């Protein structure tokens, strides 16, 4: 079937129509093996089921389509952003489907798999100083946009309200529906913070008693792919500091250990930020006698194999 230009733009009859509505997996048996009482359920959204393999497809699609609707993104413009991996991969995929050139700034030390994936979708990869991390990539992309503002549409994921709105209208309602409204605790990592802010706002509106637990590395030296230590990083403009009910700092070693345990004990081959989120969710569950804890598995482990985590 030949797609019309309008179908490509809207995502109708394309892979983009498959973004969202990911499964909610029951991790209660895994949690019980870690000492969580049977009356507490632990669940996780399998976000690698999205096209592009991560939760970032949700925000990337909304940012692009809102810009198309209001005229900020028109044919001939180049989509550009900084990314440690997953948003970049999602933007590259969306650009391929919709016919936009995509430029992505990534720290030079991101995994080989992530570099290969953005190139596979046809995007141009621009590498930034590995020692400056995601903040350094942000500075580079801002320089490129400032030098040629008419050439680019800068998705600006850290400051674009479409990021959190994708989760307010998608991830949050899905969790509410999939748990039958029984969710008592939502646990999610802080990166761009869009997942936490959008999902958290929706759940709080449905039930103000839902506890929102924000997860980040325990300090600036604990490197957990996809998460930011907000106290020592550029704080995203979309972040709502009043939203979390609780913060949990996770050691990198604990995130890695839980990531490996999920593969070897639950058959879930997930990324490092997913390991951090599950570790935090189990910590929360240990404090409860009853409840339903929901967390996010942002991606699978395929982009991290070269880092040696699973050896």
How far apart (Å, rounded) are the C-alpha atoms in residues 134 and 25? 30
Among candidate residues 45, 228, 273, 303, the one labeled active-site is 273
Reading the block at residue 310, the tokens are 């699973």
To the query of whether residue 69 is one of the catalytic residues in this protein, the response is: no
Among this protein's residues, is 273 annotated catalytic? yes
Residues 226 and 216: their CA atoms lie apart, in Å, by: 10
List the structure tokens of 62.
């909304």
Closest among 267, 271, 231 to 255, alpha carbons compared: 271
CB 87 within 8 A of CB 59: yes
216: which strand partners?
A: 249
Cα–Cα distance list, 191 to 145, 174, 197, 222, 263 (Å): 22, 21, 11, 14, 23
Contact 115, 125 (CB under 8 A): yes
Q: Which residue has the tokens 């690698």?
A: 48
How many CB atoms within 10 Å of residue 148? Answer: 10
Beta pairing partners, 153: 79
Task: Return the C-alpha torsion angle 201, 183, 180, 200, nearest 10.
Answer: 10
Catalytic residue among 45, 56, 98, 115: 56
Q: Are 154 and 72 in contact (CB under 8 A)?
A: no
Catalytic residues: 56, 273
């Amino acid at each position: 079937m030949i797609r019309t230009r309008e179908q490509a733009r809207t995502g109708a009859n394309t892979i983009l129509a498959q973004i969202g509505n990911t499964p909610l997996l029951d991790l209660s048996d895994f949690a019980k093996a870690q000492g969580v009482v049977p009356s507490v359920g632990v669940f996780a959204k399998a976000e690698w089921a999205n096209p592009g393999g991560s939760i970032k497809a949700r925000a990337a699609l909304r940012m692009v389509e809102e810009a198309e609707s209001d005229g900020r993104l028109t044919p001939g413009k180049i989509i550009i952003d900084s990314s440690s991996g997953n948003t970049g991969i999602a933007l590259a995929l969306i650009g391929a489907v919709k016919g936009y050139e995509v430029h992505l700034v990534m720290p030079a030390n991101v995994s080989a798999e992530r570099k290969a994936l953005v190139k596979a979708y046809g995007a141009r990869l621009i590498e930034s100083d590995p020692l400056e991390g995601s903040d350094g990539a942000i500075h580079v992309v801002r320089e490129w946009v400032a030098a040629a503002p008419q050439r680019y549409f800068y998705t600006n994921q850290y400051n674009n309200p479409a990021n959190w709105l994708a989760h307010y209208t998608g991830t949050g309602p899905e969790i509410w529906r999939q748990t039958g409204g029984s969710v008592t605790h939502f646990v999610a990592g802080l990166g761009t913070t869009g997942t936490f802010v959008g999902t958290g706002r929706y759940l709080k509106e449905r039930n103000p008693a839902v506890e929102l637990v924000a997860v980040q590395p325990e300090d600036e030296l604990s490197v957990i792919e996809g998460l930011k230590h907000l106290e020592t990083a550029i704080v995203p403009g979309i972040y709502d500091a009043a939203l979390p009910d609780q913060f949990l700092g996770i050691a990198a070693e604990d995130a890695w250990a839980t990531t490996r345990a999920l593969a070897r004990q639950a058959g879930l081959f997930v990324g490092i930020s997913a390991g951090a989120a599950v570790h935090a969710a189990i910590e929360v569950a240990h404090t409860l006698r009853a409840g339903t804890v929901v967390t996010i598995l942002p991606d699978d482990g395929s982009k991290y194999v070269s880092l040696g985590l699973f050896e």
